[in-house]
Amino acid sequence: MEQVWAEKYRPKTLEEVINQSHVIDRLKAFVKEKSLPHCLFAGPPGTGKTTATFALAHDLYGENWKQNLLELNASDERGIDVIRGKVKDFARTKPITDIPFKIVMLDEADALTAEAQHALRRTMEAFANSTRFILLCNYSSKIIEPIQSRCAVFRFKPLDEENIKLFIQRIVDKEKLKITEDAIKAVISLSEGDLRKVANILQSASTIKEKITEDIVYDIVSQAKPKDVKELLDNIFNHDFKAARKTLYKLLFSQGLAGEDIIKEMHKQILDMNIQEEKKLYALKILAEYDFRIAEGGSELIQLEALIAQLMLIK
């Protein structure tokens, strides 16, 4: 079975991690001193939190890094029994190498219940001499204050376009892919700074045709093509309801897109349109209203047609 590219191209050491120098430089200093505080890694998905943890463990322990790292996903194992059981059992034993501590990685720690977090706080205190905890989360505000105050906080940021392009080029060169410049721009736009999405999009697209194009990328992810949504918006603001409705039907029925995806792309494009700022403000307010209605279970077709009508009525 072919390896998932998101795992295949994951950096193995801190030196290979890209675009997070403000975090990686501090972690390298910890490796050099063979010392580590409890850590809280916070940031959007796919920005390198898990990768940085694995790379840190690899740089600290060498070949024995797996024996000295306990990996738990808090969204799956989120109860107090996990903290009292697995974590305590692992924390009680001494590390194999000359590093005086082992590492417990709690992925998606913001999914831990409040009771489990308080149990974790006490465990962090009790085993501070033999174990370091690295908590990974998307929202640090969901971590209780007593834990945050015991951790060094590292904030990961979404990758910029240049670094995503470097990552794409690395995969393209090693996998010997053919890809157009428009397709690269589409992958960058759709990934939203998440390298896992980048790798998965490229792997899926490479199985369709030898040459990856913009159309193939959008077909793979089932997202609205910007040019089609631009056509829809142009018809709306030119007050051509018949043409706008025809374009909407093409997006919904011919391309099989979800209403939320169409609204999401409209939101992106309205901000860049050459219309009055006051119109943009009203348009964003209307988009938010109809996005909520669809999320609450309203008919996509009826709500999107009403959305078009509301946008046309903006004076």
Q: In this structure, what are the phi and psi dihedrals at residue 107, rounded to the nearest 5 degrees? A: -75, 145
Whether 87 and 181 map to the same domain: the answer is no
Whether 28 and 129 map to the same domain: the answer is yes
| CATH number, position 78 | 3.40.50.300
| CATH number, position 307 | 1.20.272.10
| Residue where one domain finishes, among candidates 205, 221, 237 | 221
Q: What are the tokens at 204?
A: 């899926």
- SS3 for 7? helix
Rg of the chain over Cα atoms, rounded to whole angstroms, equals 24
> What gap in Å lies between CA 187 and CA 182, rounded to an integer?
9
Question: Residue 293: its pLDDT value, please?
Answer: 92
Q: Count the Cβ atoms, other than its own, within 10 Å of residue 126.
A: 13
Q: Count the Cβ atoms, other than its own, within 10 Å of residue 63.
A: 8
Whether 18 and 123 map to the same domain: the answer is yes
Q: Which percentage of the chain shows pLDDT scores above 90? A: 18
> What gap in Å lies between CA 122 and CA 125, rounded to an integer?
5
Q: How many domains, in total, are found in the chain? A: 3
Q: For the chain, how far is it from start to end, CA to CA, in angstroms?
A: 58
Q: Which pLDDT band holds residue 1 (cuts at 50, 70, 90)?
A: very low
Q: HSE (CB half, 13 Å, CA atoms) of 191? A: 28
| Residue where one domain finishes, among candidates 127, 155, 183 | 155
- SS3 for 74? coil
Whether 100 and 200 map to the same domain: the answer is no
Kindly tell me if the per-residue pLDDT of 87 is higher than 80. no
> What gap in Å lies between CA 113 and CA 300, rounded to an integer?
35
Whether 201 and 102 map to the same domain: the answer is no
Q: What are the tokens at 276?
A: 């009055």
> What gap in Å lies between CA 270 and CA 285, rounded to an integer?
12
Global pTM reads 0.75
Whether 76 and 211 map to the same domain: the answer is no
> What gap in Å lies between CA 32 and CA 61, rounded to an integer?
12
Q: What are the tokens at 182?
A: 């428009």
| Residue where one domain finishes, among candidates 173, 188, 221 | 221
pLDDT in tens, 193-244: 888 888 888 888 888 888 888 888 888 887 778 888 889 998 898 888 999 9
Average pLDDT value over all residues in the chain:
85
Whether 170 and 64 map to the same domain: the answer is no
pLDDT in tens, 255-313: 878 888 899 889 988 888 888 888 888 899 999 999 999 999 888 899 999 999 999 88
Whether 70 and 124 map to the same domain: the answer is yes
Whether 277 and 139 map to the same domain: the answer is no
Whether 53 and 139 map to the same domain: the answer is yes
List Cα–Cα distances, 217 to 80, 150, 222, 269, 293, in angstroms.
43, 44, 9, 19, 29
List Cα–Cα distances, 107 to 48, 276, 288, 297, in angstroms.
12, 45, 32, 32
Query: What DSSP element (H or E) covers 64?
Result: none
In this structure, of 34-38, 64-68, 154-158, 254-258, the range with the lowest mean pLDDT score is 254-258
pLDDT in tens, 159-194: 888 888 888 888 888 888 888 998 898 888 888 888
Whether 91 and 137 map to the same domain: the answer is yes
> What gap in Å lies between CA 312 and CA 305, rounded to an integer?
11
Question: Residue 287: its pLDDT value, please?
Answer: 92
Domain containing 203 equals: 161-221
Question: Residue 12: its pLDDT value, please?
Answer: 84
Kindly tell me if the per-residue pLDDT of 7 is higher than 90. no
> What gap in Å lies between CA 67 and CA 94, rounded to an integer?
11
Question: Residue 129: its pLDDT value, please?
Answer: 83
Whether 211 and 235 map to the same domain: the answer is no
- Using alpha carbons, select from 160, 143, 163, 159 the residue that is nearest to residue 151: 143
Kindly tell me if the per-residue pLDDT of 77 is higher than 80. no
Question: Residue 14: its pLDDT value, please?
Answer: 87
Question: Residue 136: its pLDDT value, please?
Answer: 92
Secondary structure percentages of the chain, helix, strand, coil, to 5: 60, 10, 30
Q: What are the tokens at 66?
A: 């797996």
